[in-house]
Structure formats: C-alpha cells, structure tokens
Chains A and B, each alone.
Chain A
Amino acid sequence: MQRYLIKRSFQSLIVILGITVIVFMILHLTGDPTDLLLPPEAGPEERELLRHELGLDKPIYVQYLEYIKNICHGDFGQSFRYQTPAFSVVMGALPATIELTMAAMILSIVVALPIGIISAIRPRSYYDTLGMTFALLGQSIPVYWAGLMLILLFAVTLGWLPSTGRGGIKHLILPAVTLGMFSTAAIARFTRSSMIDVLDADYIRTARIKGLSEHIVVLKHAFKNASIPVLTMTSLQFGRMLSGAVITETIFSWPGVGRIAVQAIYNRDFPVVQTVVLVASVIFVGINFMVDIIYTYLDPRIKYT
C-alpha cells in the first residue's frame, strides 16, 4: 500500500506538470496580452514597455522555466489585470466555488440516491418512469438554459429567490440546483442500473431466503456493493462540476473561480489562467487519488500493491 501511494503521488505530479506545460503553451499561442491590456491608441513604445514589465519579451522556454521555478517558491506570478498576486486572486474566489460545488454535490447525492434505489427496486413502475424521465431531462437540458429559466421562474416571476450574487442560503439555492442538475440525473441513472445488476445477484437471493427484511437487503447488502461504481461516477461528477461552475457562476454572477477563469481568458491574463488550471487539476487529481483509497474500505477485496 505504501509503495502504491508513493507511486501514485509521483504519477500525479507528472500529470500536473504535463498540464502546466500544455496550458502555458496554449496560452502563449492565443496572442499578445498587451493588445488587450492597453487601449488601442497605445503605440509600440507603450507596448514594448509593458511586454518588458510583464516578462513577455523573453523566449517562451525561459518564461516557462522561470514560471516553474517561481511556483516552487510559492510565487504564481502577478495578475496582468489586477496587478496583484495571481494566487491570491484565485484563492480569494475559491471559497465561493467550493461552497457552490459542495452544495450542488450534496443536493445531487441526496436527491439522486433515493431516486436511483427506489427506481431499481421497482423497475418499470410509475415511480421508475417518473424518476428516469426526470433524470433524462436533467441530463439533456443545457445548464445555461436551465439556469436562465430558473431565474425567470423563481426570481422574476415568483419573486421567491434572488437572481444573482452570493449571500445566505437563499442565494445558494438556484445556482446549486442548476449546477447539480446534470450530476443528479447522472448519479440517479447510474445508481439505478448498478442496483439492478446487484439485486439480481445470488447473494441477494440468499439474503432474502435467510428472511432478512427488504430494508436491510436493499440498503446493507445491495447498496454497499452497488456503491463502488456509483462512487467512481460521483467523483467524476465532481470534476465535471468544477467545469460546470464556469457556466453557472457566470449566469448567477457567483463570485467564484469559474468567473475569474472566464474573465482571465478573455483578458489573456496568463498568470491567473495558469493558476486556475493548476488549482483545479490539483483538486481533481487529489479527488481521484482519494477515491482509489476509499475503494479499499468499501470492498476489502480491492488491494493495491
């Protein structure tokens, strides 16, 4: 196990390093940020000065090596646009994104698991049809449209909830529902199929013959075994949510990392884009890592060597 952990950590590091190379190169291909930082009236003199100030006049490999060197010292560069450290720009927005993602995730799980399990126990019942229709809708409605429709209904027409911004619980509801919708549907469908597979297995029949209550059979014997693929799916959904947050945060003007990322890309604010991607990939790689370890607890047969 220990050797496995070391090996996995090393692999994760390589993945993240690879990501920094790709992001760095792609960003520098997208054009000269000084064009967007200066008003169009600015002449070559201002442009050169700014390029020099931002370190963009050096060869790209030198820029990259300096970037990596600085990261090792905890310096993620100055945001071109905000003129403050890029790391603090991203970190300042991270709590908002985590709040939103967590709320959406909890909402997804709380809604999706019961729908999935009940649908699996009574396949082709009205409940199953209803649940799976919702799931189908949830996966096929574009987030963008759904968000605007929710605003139109709950904020503009009914006036129950605020349409934008971050505040208390009431500000959180619409964005969390919007962000969680796709995942709810995906997890519900996945739970259902996974449960149906398991409920057909011999040991479930054995459990029933033993005279255990249906309750215990479903929740303890079936669900625990069905939960491994569901967990994989859910952790993948977490990654999807980080990217989904970009759209949701824009619609609801939620002051999170997704919004920062969009603005930074528009403005060619390289250090901020790089930091966002780096932070997001560390989170994503970290979650995958954690899930692999949780497997061993859920299913003692899984062993890493």
Chain B
Amino acid sequence: MKKNIVLVFLVLMIAFSFISEGIASAAAKGKLIVAQGAETTTLDPHKGGSAIFVNVCITMYDLLIRRDREGKQRLALATSYKNIDPVTWEFKLRKGVKFQNGEPFTSRDVKFSYDRMRDPKTKYPFRVFYRGIQEVQIIDDYTVRVITKKPDPVLLSRLAFGAFIVPEKYIKEHGDEYFAKHPIGSGRYKFVKWAKNDYVELEANENYWGDRPATIKKLVFKTIPETGSRLAALQTGEVDIATNAPPFMISKLEKNPKIKVVSGPSGRVIFIGFNLTKPEKAGPLMNKKVRQALNYAVDKQSLIKYVLMGSGEQLATPLIPQAFGYDPNIKPYPYDPEKAKKLLKEAGYPNGFETQFATGSGRYLMDKQIAEAIVGMLDKVGIKAKLKICEWGEYEKVRKSHKVEPLYLLGWGNTMSDADGTLVPLFFSKSRYSNYVNPTLDKMMMEARYQMDPEKRKGQYSEILKLIKDEAPWIFLYQQRDNYGVRDTVANFKQSAGSERMDCDVLRLAK
C-alpha cells in the first residue's frame, strides 16, 4: 500500500512538471494581457455602460476628440473645430481614414453614429450625456456640425467620453446584431475573438491612420473578478496588467522585482453627506456652524494615512483637481477638534448631540472602516453617531428617496471631468441625489452651466465652491487613488489622473 501511494505521488509530480512547461510569459510573443475585475457586456460601442466597457472600446473605435492620459483633449478623427455660435460646433474631419473593413470614413459616419447613440431604441446607457444635442448636420464629406439645444461648454468632453464612431454602411448592411458579434471600428486594434466571460482578443490594426505601438501584435482583455486571483495571475505572469490592487497588497506585490504598482488619483470623490431635506430628522445639522464643526472634527489626513494606507488625497471641496472649475486657492478645513467644540458651543450644543450615520460596505475602498473611524472622531467632540451598515442595493434605494440617515457616506465619480457633472447632481435642489436645498446656489450653478467663456466660467465655479465650502453640506473627505499592478513587460503604463479609463491602445511592450 505504502509503495502505491509513493508511486501515485511520483506520477503526479511528473505530470505536473510536464504540463507546467506551457506556462510562459505571453508578452514574449508580442501579446499584452490586461486583467479587469468585470467583463464588458458588449462590443457595440453604443450599448455598454461601464468603465470596463469603455476601456475595451477605446482601443477598437475612434472618437472625433480623445481625452489623453494627462486629461487633455486631443484631436483624433477631427482635425479642427470651432464654434459658429454658442450652440453650433463645426468639426473638420480627418481625410484618408479607413474603417477596419476598408470602408472610408466620412461625415456620414459621424452623423450616423451620433444619431444612433442618441436614439432611445439603441438603449445606450450613456445617452443621458448626449440628450443636449439637437441635431447633427452634414456640410460636406469632411465637415459636420453638431447643434446643441442650449449652449453646452462641456460638449467636447462629452464627445471625447463615449461618442464612438461606427461605420454606417457596414451596420446598415448587416444589422445591429451582426455588428455586435463582428465589430468594426477605426481604432488601433481590431476585433479577433470574444470568449464570453473570459476574454476579448484584439490584434493590431495595420492600417491605422495614426502611429501604432508596433511591439504589440495582440491585445487581450481578461476578466478576473476575484481580487486575490487577479493579483495571483499578475504574479505568475499570466497577465501583464491587473486593475484595482487594494492598498494592503501593494507592498506584497512590489516584493516581486518584476512588478510595479502604478497609482494615481481616480475620478472618485468620497464624502459624508448631510441629509438636510428633513429638518426634524437632521436637527442640529440644519445649523451651518454645526456642519462646519463636523468638518473640523474629522482628521482626514489620518484617515488617508492609516485607514486607506495612502490611497487617497484630501479635498477641500467636492471637486477633484483634474476637473474643470477646480480652484487650488480654496484650502480644506484643517483638523481642529477645539475649534469644532467651540463652534458646537456657539450653535447651542456644548455637550454635542446624537444622530444617525449610514454607510454601505465594500463598495468603496475601506468604506466601512472609514465610517467607523469617523464615528470615533465625532465622539471626541461629543457627537454620538449611531452607525448603520447597509446592503448596497437597499442603500441605493433609500439614498435616492431623500430618506437616508442624517449622515451618510457616499462616493461620486466625475465622468466628464467638469464641475457641472459633480455639482448639479449632488447639490441642485431638484436632483435625485441632492439632499441640500439652496436657491442661491441653484441659480449660480445654472448660470455656469451655459457659460461659453471658459475664463468666466472658471470664476463662477470658484465662487460656487467657496459658497459650498462655507455652507458645508458635506464633510469633505478625499479623492480615492487607483492602484494598478503592472509587470516589467509593459514599457509605458500610466494611470489617467482623475479617471478610471485605461488607454491600453497606446501601451508598448518593454524591449
């Protein structure tokens, strides 16, 4: 019997060592593999609605204008643009561009694409960003005009975000369903294979109009939802880039000399909102001094250093530095518990008060732990906050009905990198997500929304942000940082500041 067990073990050993030869770094063969935590649900660029989907589409499809990794807008399929009047934008288009099936790109494709994504029947989740477009006009083969319903200073950002250009003739000939299975774009990479729930494989488009990263022949997006498994695949060399490395894994990953963790500020703001829509429930929080006191009572630097292990950057206002309208001259509330106590005393609450505080768990980086730490900090100035931890789906429901607890922890991503996209949804009194009512602020935000002069607009947002900071409808906390695990096979990985977007098509392999 004993002999048999030894024999079985030996056979297994040999078998293992035999098959393990097959596992070698893919990068050697001109292949780059990127592991993301979720799958793109579609390759039709007007049907998906997630950052993961955008990351895949941006490599296959072009846009008139692109946002680069530094956050700047660069011309892509457009060669120039100008405003004829505040609502009319004229774009000159690049000549000689071909779709991956050989079809030439013209203004007809732009009109077709923009009409398609705006059509409710297409069910484009990002349609909301384009509903301000009135119509798209073809002037000649290489000139189009986009006419908006109202002046829209954010239009270029919108077009750079998800207004992908698709081939009109091809889709009209073959239909939407066929197109989703055999997608054709004009981007740096073209479609090869989609093994659903596993990976999307692309190959370099030899006829791309711009410069091509010649070292990469194949680009693969792999789906590995479990964080531990995703990072294990990075360590074994099965993938070259892995997204969302949690802060506590950074030092472990970096012990491997072939792995580097690249981090940078994401587009996500984390804050504690005050529900001020129900004065009887909000109680003391209706008083501005109390709200300011809470801002002084929370030590954001410690939260970032000890709870987030460095994966955050303190913010003075709701706006991240990468967004249009940010004002670096507005400084955050410092940590000052004495000042907090003084303000509470002035407001008539020398002994503090009791309140409720809600948070989700596992939605944002260390969200529950952050909330728990804040409860402790508030306790030091006499405020007893009772913490309630909610299931996310339930939390979403409550939060949107203005029935959420007086204090609630939440995150917000700034999709367009523009002040309007953060401030209006979160502070405009009629917005679903706003739990704050201030007619003066409403008026200021609506004025800035339609201001076409960037300098004037910047000034308007500066005033708005000063008002918001003073009124303190939130405890302003921080901006999360994103951490990517990257192997040394990749030459030029860079985190896009203020965004979850990865521009994988511009990556190169290391020599």
Which A residues form the contact surface with B (CB < 8 A)? 30-32, 35-46, 49-50, 53, 81-84, 89, 92-93, 96, 127, 148, 151-152, 154-156, 158-166, 168-170, 250-253, 255-256, 259-260, 262-263, 268
B: residues with CB less than 8 A from A are: 1, 16-17, 19-20, 22-23, 38-39, 41-42, 44, 47, 49, 120-121, 123, 125-129, 131, 177, 180, 195-199, 222-226, 228-230, 232-233, 235-236, 238, 393-394, 396-397, 400, 412, 415, 421, 425, 432-433
A156 to B258, CA, bound (A): 13
Assess whether A165 is in contact with B238, with CB atoms less than 8 Å apart. Answer: yes
Please state if A38 and B49 are interface contacts (CB–CB under 8 Å). Answer: yes
Q: Does B128 contact A38, Cβ atoms closer than 8 Å?
A: yes
Closest to B400 in A: A35
Q: Are B42 and A164 in contact (CB under 8 A)?
A: no
Per the bound structure, the CA–CA distance linking A152 and B196 in Å amounts to 26
Q: A36-B396, A164-B238 are in contact. List 11 more A-B contacts (CB 8 A).
A: A32-B397, A38-B128, A41-B128, A41-B415, A43-B432, A50-B123, A84-B180, A160-B16, A165-B224, A170-B22, A256-B197
Contact assessment for A159 and B41 in the assembled complex, using a CB-CB cutoff below 8 Å:
no
Q: Is B126 touching A165 in the complex (CB atoms < 8 A)?
A: no
A32–B401 Cα distance when bound, in Å, is: 13
Contact, CB under 8 Å: B396 / A35? yes
Q: Specify which chain A residues have a CB less than 8 angstroms from the CB of B229 in the assembled complex.
A: 148, 151, 163-164, 251-253
Query: Which residues of B are found within 8 Å of A44, using beta-carbon distances?
Result: 432
A39 near B49: Cβ-Cβ < 8 Å? yes
Q: Are B196 and A92 in contact (CB under 8 A)?
A: yes
Residue of A nearest to B431 (CB): A43
Give every chain B residue within 8 A of A256 (Cβ-Cβ). Answer: 197
Q: Which listed residue, A37, A41, A170, A263, touches B129 by the CB 8 Å rule? A: A41
Whole-angstrom distance between the alpha carbons of A96 and B195 in the complex?
11
* Complex CA distance for A35 and B393, rounded to whole angstroms: 9
Chain B residues within 8 Å of A162, by CB? 23, 233, 236, 238
Sampled A-B contacts (26; CB under 8 Å): A30-B393, A31-B393, A31-B396, A31-B397, A32-B397, A36-B396, A42-B125, A49-B120, A50-B123, A53-B123, A92-B196, A148-B228, A151-B228, A151-B229, A155-B236, A156-B236, A159-B236, A160-B19, A160-B23, A163-B229, A165-B224, A250-B225, A253-B222, A253-B230, A256-B197, A263-B39
Q: Please indicate the chain B residues that have their CB under 8 angstroms from the CB of A163 in the complex.
A: 229, 232-233, 236, 238
Closest CB in chain B relative to A210 CB, distance in Å: 27
Chain A residues with CB below 8 A from B23, complex form: 159-162, 170
**In the docked arrangement, what's the CA distance between A168 and B126, Å?**
39
Residue of A93, A161, A253, A268 with most chain B CB atoms under a 10 A cut-off: A253
Residue of A nearest to B393 (CB): A31
Write the nearest CB–CB distance from A200 to chain B, whole angstroms: 24
A296 to B222, CA, bound (A): 48
Q: In the complex, what's the smallest C-beta–C-beta distance from B14 to chain A, in angstroms?
A: 11
Docked pose: A151 CA to B238 CA in angstroms = 12
Bound Cα distance A281, B342 (Å): 64
Chain B residues contacting A164 (CB-CB under 8 Å) are: 222, 224, 229-230, 232-233, 238
CB distance from A30 to the nearest CB of B (A): 6
CB pair A255–B198 under 8 Å, yes or no, is yes
A43 touches B128 (CB 8 A): yes
Contact A42 B128 (CB under 8 A): yes
Q: Tell me which residues across on chain B come within 8 A of A170, comparing CB atoms.
A: 19-20, 22-23
Within the assembled complex, what's the spacing in Å between the Cα atoms of A165 and B39? 13
CA of A6 to CA of B126 in the docked complex: distance in angstroms? 52
Nearest CB in chain B to that of A32: its residue:
B397
Tell me which residues across on chain B come within 8 A of A89, comparing CB atoms.
196
Q: Complex: how many Å from CA A162 to CA B197?
A: 17
Number of A-B contacts (CB under 8 A): 146
Contact B49 A82 (CB under 8 A): no
* Assembled-state Cα–Cα distance A155/B228 (Å): 12
Complex Cα distance, B41 from A89, in Å, reads 11
- Of A42, A163, A168, A263, chain B has the most CB atoms within 10 Å of the CB of A163
Residues from chain B with Cβ under 8 Å of A159 in the complex:
20, 23, 236
Is A53's CB under 8 angstroms from B120's CB?
yes
Q: A162-B236, A164-B233 are in contact. Are A38 and B125 (CB under 8 A)?
A: yes
Provide the residues of chain B in CB contact with A93, threshold 8 Å.
Answer: 196-197
A82 CA / B415 CA spacing, docked (Å):
22
A-chain residues with CB within 8 Å of residue B19 when the two chains form the complex? 160-161, 168-170
Q: Which residue of A lies closest to B1 (CB)?
A: A127
Cβ-closest chain A residue relative to B430? A43
Contact of A160 among B17, B47, B121, B129 (CB under 8 A): B17
> Are B400 and A161 closer than 8 Å at their CB atoms?
no
A148 and B233 alpha carbons, distance in the complex (Å):
11
Minimum Cβ distance to chain B for residue A252 (Å): 7
Shortest distance between the CB of A86 and any CB in chain B (Å): 12
User: In the complex, what residues of A have CB within 8 A of residue B228's CB?
Assistant: 148, 151, 251
Kindly list chain A residues whose C-beta atoms are within 8 Å of the C-beta of B396.
31, 35-36
B120 and A39: CB pair below 8 A?
no
Q: Which residues of A contact B121 (CB under 8 A)?
A: 53
Measured CA separation A170–B226 after assembly (Å): 20
Bound: A37/B53 CA distance, A: 13
Bound Cα distance from A41 to B235, whole angstroms? 38
Q: How far apart sit A170 and B230, CA to CA, in the bound complex (Å)?
A: 18
Max chain A Cβ within 10 angstroms of own Cβ: one of B20, B47, B199:
B20
Query: In the complex, what's the smallest C-beta–C-beta distance from B425 to chain A, in angstroms?
Result: 6
Query: What's the minimum C-beta distance from A110 to chain B, rounded to whole angstroms?
Result: 12
Compute how far the CA of A84 lies from the CA of B42 in the bound complex, rounded to whole angstroms. Answer: 9
A46 near B233: Cβ-Cβ < 8 Å: no
A30-B393, A31-B396, A38-B125 known; A165 vs B222 contact (CB < 8 Å)? yes
Within the complex, what minimum Cβ distance (angstroms) separates B239 from chain A?
8
Give chain A nearest CB distance to B232 CB in angstroms. 4
Q: Give the distance in Å from the alpha carbon of A31 to the alpha carbon of B196 in the complex.
A: 27
| Interface pair A260/B125, CB less than 8 Å apart | no
For B197, the chain A residues whose CB sits under 8 A away are 93, 96, 255-256, 259-260
Q: Which residues of B contact A84 (CB under 8 A)?
A: 177, 180
Known: A164-B229, A253-B198. A37 touches B17 (CB 8 A): no
Known interface pairs A37-B49, A253-B224. Does A152 touch B425 (Cβ–Cβ under 8 Å)?
A: no
Which single member of A40, A82, A83 contacts B433 (CB below 8 Å)? A40
Contacts of A41 in B (CB 8 A): 128-129, 415, 421, 425
Closest 10 CB pairs of A and B: A255-B197, A255-B198, A160-B20, A253-B224, A42-B128, A170-B19, A163-B232, A81-B41, A160-B16, A151-B232
Report the bound CA distance from A160 to B23 in whole Å.
8
Measured between beta carbons, the chain B residues less than 8 angstroms from A53 are: 120-121, 123
Q: Given the complex of chains A and B, what is the CA–CA distance between A32 and B397 in angstroms?
A: 8
Q: With A155-B232, A163-B233 given, is the CB distance from A263 to B226 under 8 Å? A: no
**Distance A161 CA – B197 CA, assembled complex (angstroms):** 21
Q: Contact: B49 with A253, CB < 8 Å?
A: no
Q: Kindly report which residue of chain A lies nearest to residue B129, judged by CB atoms.
A: A41
- Measured between beta carbons, the chain B residues less than 8 angstroms from A83 are 41-42, 44, 47, 123, 180
Partner of B232 from the list A40, A156, A158, A255 (CB cut-off 8 Å) is: A156
